[in-house]
Amino acid sequence: MTENPFFEHWTTPFGMPPFDRIRPEHFPPAFDRGMQEEITEIAAIAGSAAPPSFANTIAALERSGRLLERVSRVFFNLDASSTNDAFEAIARDYAPRLAQHRMRVVLDPDLFARIADLHARRASLGLDPDQLRLIERYYLRFVRNGALLGPEQKERMAAISERLAILHTLFGQNVLHDERDWQLVLDAADLDGLPEFARSAAAQAAAERGISGRYAVTLARSAVEPFLTFSSRRDLRRAIWEAWRARGASGSPSDNVLVIREIIALRAEQARLLGYESFVDYRLDDTMAKTGAAAEQLLLQVWRPAKAKARSELAAIEAAARAEGLNEPIEPWDWRYYAEKVRQAEYDLNEAEVKPYFVLDNMVQAAFDAAGRLFGLRFTERRDLRVYHADVRVWEVSDQSGDHVGLFLHDNFARPGKQSGAWSSRYRDQESMDEAVTPIVVNNNNFARADVSDAEPTLLSFDDAKTLFHEFGHGLHSLLSRVRYPSQSGTAVRRDFVEFPSQIFEHWVSVPNTLRSYARHYRTGEPLPEELLQRLLAARNFNQGFATVEYTASALIDLDLHRTTATETLDPARFEQDFLERMEVPKEIGLRHRLPHFQHLFAGGGYAAGYYSYLWAEVLDADGFAAFTEAGDAFDPELAARLKAIYSAGDTRDPMELYRAFRGREPAIAALLQQRGLAPVQPG
């Protein structure tokens, strides 16, 4: 084995990981040494003869585990975006070991005794507000992991954590395998209805898989949704829909049914050990919502108007289908296809007409320039920095004074070995505890790449552009962080607040002047025609009944599933069906995520009993952007400065306190209903 780069001081520019030197075989010894170093550091803190103080306990904890943190950041980012058999084997091997290690730290009785002592005396310690909050969060973290339990219960909590880590890893790998192994191979005669951008993407997908002269549609969402929207071949739409919904439930070795059952049972047991009636009660106790009832109340406030709007949308879709000669009932694989027909008729708007104006590189520049006008950031591409895949581009971020802020990596294309979806992460967090440390942030998307043989640029849908802005909003949350302690950095906030900075930033892609400047035809360079721009903006609420039902149903089933007590006999398919019938979910729509591939819930624990967070944050983002609308300026300097304070604060302050300081009051739901074009439905 070559010398292990994780055991060296990195002299790369800005502390960038030396991707060109890192190999899979470097990770096991680096994980092992990182865990051993942290255990030694924890033992020194816990066994100190000096009375507990913020400096020798909390600050010392913030300094501990640096090697393990660095190794973990690189490994889990690469495993998500550029995995292979070696990475997957390491992930399976080390997931339980890392979970066991984490529980060994949080269940250390001597360490917790020091934290508890400081927590009890926190008001008399003369601490700064960020230090006081850090003590409170440490104490809560240890308690929520079982620090107050007896020895046998602690042992069981540790075993549950270890087993869940194994199951989360297995679930995600199963979905990835199903997505990687399936493809719909087509000939030119099968492309009826597909616009040029979809044909180009299918040609590129086939070329990447060694299928010359033909076309391939994969199970990446960026491939599935355009096919369902434009393909006039109903049989092929059905085939890809059924493969899409069967991920993780195919009856193959990658089937997730038994994995789900065990995960739900273990989470319920974990909650009971900590004194909660259900995992929902446990999870939401440390959120803005506080209770499952509050989260469910919000979801139900939009559920009734969303279903009413979806019914009216279905009537229009059925009429369009009948006009084209389809006399059978509308099925889920029909909705997007006929909805596009209705949109063309109602708004004279065709996605194939709009997409040529949304060039990926232009939309990236639009996001950068919006961040510049709002927050004073500047982005300079660095082609000299080594990356982990040829798709990745890197920008150095600086402020108005020219000072270095951080690095931003963009990994935009779907490919084999990359998990589906879109996400933001970090290779390093901002902090200033001992010295100024700048962040290294990465955004991952799964856009369908254009056929490189045609030398054409990659084109985005309007929804793709919003996704790009959404993930960039998460990236800004990390880049703009200005905190002292690493565990308060950037996105380390409550789960139902973390989506606010990302979702509010989506609004700037729809600002008319943004579109006038950056939505330009990929061949002529001409700007989006004004009348087309106005039609595009007028159609923003189109099909919102469908979108809201699809999302809200998934959020509601998440809460229902994590309340269930019948964990030993749980049948995910039966549970889904009972839920769909009880909630009267339109059969033409269904769930955005079926349980066997619902990675938010089961490929990790972050959004378990928390998928409602997107809607909770949307109340904040709709109400928050309304402030800019009221000011008559999407770049109002005073509002932008107050918004920047939220991005900069990390977890140093309570999220509702931050929101009130920005908006001057607590949020109201009216703006969300207006944003989604939903009229409140009265009972009865």
pLDDT tens for residues 242-277? 999 999 997 878 899 999 999 999 999 999 999 999
pLDDT tops 50 at residue 684:
no
CB-based contacts of 38, cutoff 8 Å, min separation 6? 64, 65, 67, 68, 101, 105
Quick one: pLDDT band at residue 682, thresholds 50, 70, 90? low
Residue 561 tokens, joined: 């599933």
Instruction: Identify which of 220, 305, 225, 299 has the alpha carbon closest to the alpha carbon of residue 614.
Output: 299
Helix, strand, coil percentages for the chain (3-state, nearest 5): 60, 5, 35
Residue with tokens 């606010």: 500
Beta bridge partners of 409: 394, 442
Give the tens place of pLDDT for each residue, 33-54: 999 999 999 999 999 999 999 9
Do 189 and 292 lie in one domain? The reply is no
Do 408 and 527 lie in one domain? The reply is yes
Which DSSP category does 56 fall into?
Answer: I
Determine, yes or no, domain membership for 599. Answer: yes
Do 27 and 85 lie in one domain? The reply is yes
Give the span between the Cα atoms of 428 and 15, in whole angstroms. Answer: 9
Quick one: pLDDT band at residue 136, thresholds 50, 70, 90? very high
Residue 451 tokens, joined: 């056929």
Residue 165 tokens, joined: 């880590």
Give the chain's largest Cα–Cα span: 83
Mean pLDDT lowest among 369-373, 404-408, 454-458, 518-522: 454-458
Question: Angle between the 572-582 and 257-273 helix axes, to the nearest 10 degrees?
Answer: 80
Residue type, 331: E
Domain count, the chain: 4
Mean pLDDT lowest among 93-97, 475-479, 522-526, 680-684: 680-684
Residue with tokens 């999302």: 551
Do 393 and 439 lie in one domain? The reply is yes
Give the tens place of pLDDT for each residue, 626-643: 999 999 999 999 999 999
Determine, yes or no, domain membership for 648. Answer: yes
Determine, yes or no, domain membership for 167. Answer: no
CATH number at residue 140: 1.20.1050
Beta bridge partners of 410: 393, 443
Do 509 and 588 lie in one domain? The reply is no
Residue 284 tokens, joined: 């939401």
Cα-based torsion angle of the residue sequence 270, 273, 276, 277 in order, rounded to the nearest 10 degrees = 80
Instruction: Identify which of 106, 105, 120 has the alpha carbon closest to the alpha carbon of residue 148.
Output: 106
Residue 200 tokens, joined: 């180009």
Give the span between the Cα atoms of 248 and 256, in whole angstroms. Answer: 5
Determine, yes or no, domain membership for 173. Answer: no
Q: How many CB atoms lie within 10 A of CB 385?
A: 18
Give the tens place of pLDDT for each residue, 353-398: 999 999 999 999 999 999 999 999 999 999 999 999 999 999 999 9
Do 389 and 528 lie in one domain? The reply is yes
Quick one: pLDDT band at residue 681, thresholds 50, 70, 90? low
Give the tens place of pLDDT for each residue, 209-221: 999 899 999 998 8
Residue type, 311: R
Active-site positions read 471
pLDDT tops 90 at residue 451:
no
pLDDT tops 60 at residue 683:
no
* Residue at which a domain ends, from 144, 170, 203: 144
Determine, yes or no, domain membership for 157. Answer: no
Do 501 and 452 lie in one domain? The reply is yes
- The mean pLDDT value of the chain amounts to 96
Determine contact, residues 658/649, Cβ cutoff 8 Å.
Answer: yes
pLDDT tops 70 at residue 195:
yes
Instruction: Identify which of 575, 609, 606, 604 has the alpha carbon closest to the alpha carbon of residue 173.
Output: 604
CATH number at residue 591: 1.10.1370.10
Q: What angle do CA 360, 366, 371 make, to 5 degrees?
A: 135
Determine, yes or no, domain membership for 161. Answer: no
What integer pLDDT is reported at residue 545 of this predicted model?
96
Task: For strands 393-398 and 378-381, give the pairing.
Answer: antiparallel
Beta bridge partners of 359: 459
What integer pLDDT is reported at residue 567 of this predicted model?
83
Determine, yes or no, domain membership for 332. Answer: yes
Do 556 and 650 lie in one domain? The reply is yes
Give the span between the Cα atoms of 533 and 551, in whole angstroms. Answer: 27
Do 373 and 417 lie in one domain? The reply is yes
Give the tens place of pLDDT for each residue, 319-345: 999 999 999 999 999 999 999 999 999
46-69 average pLDDT score: 98
Give the span between the Cα atoms of 398 and 83, in whole angstroms. Answer: 31
pTM: 0.94
Give the span between the Cα atoms of 536 and 524, in whole angstroms. Answer: 20
Residue with tokens 């020219």: 402
Instruction: Identify which of 420, 444, 81, 422 has the alpha carbon closest to the alpha carbon of residue 244.
Output: 420
Q: How many CB atoms lie within 10 A of CB 356?
A: 21
What integer pLDDT is reported at residue 2 of this predicted model?
59
Cα 255 to its chain centre, rounded Å, is: 23
Give the tens place of pLDDT for each residue, 567-610: 888 999 999 999 999 999 999 999 999 999 999 999 999 999 99
CB-based contacts of 501, cutoff 8 Å, min separation 6? 473, 474, 476, 477, 491, 646, 647
* Residue at which a domain ends, from 541, 569, 593: 541
Determine contact, residues 674/515, Cβ cutoff 8 Å.
Answer: no
Cα 665 to its chain centre, rounded Å, is: 28
CATH number at residue 455: 1.10.1370.40
Determine contact, residues 432/444, Cβ cutoff 8 Å.
Answer: no
Residue 349 tokens, joined: 């708007």
Which spans in 507-582 are helix H?
512-518, 530-538, 544-561, 572-582
Expressed as residue numbers, the domain containing 520 is 356-541
Do 78 and 187 lie in one domain? The reply is no
Do 415 and 448 lie in one domain? The reply is yes
Give the span between the Cα atoms of 519 and 357, in whole angstroms. Answer: 5
Instruction: Identify which of 263, 262, 243, 261 has the alpha carbon closest to the alpha carbon of residue 252.
Output: 243
Do 291 and 431 lie in one domain? The reply is no
Residue with tokens 């304070």: 645
Determine, yes or no, domain membership for 64. Answer: yes
Which DSSP category does 13 fall into?
Answer: G
* Residue at which a domain ends, from 520, 541, 562: 541
Determine contact, residues 566/328, Cβ cutoff 8 Å.
Answer: no
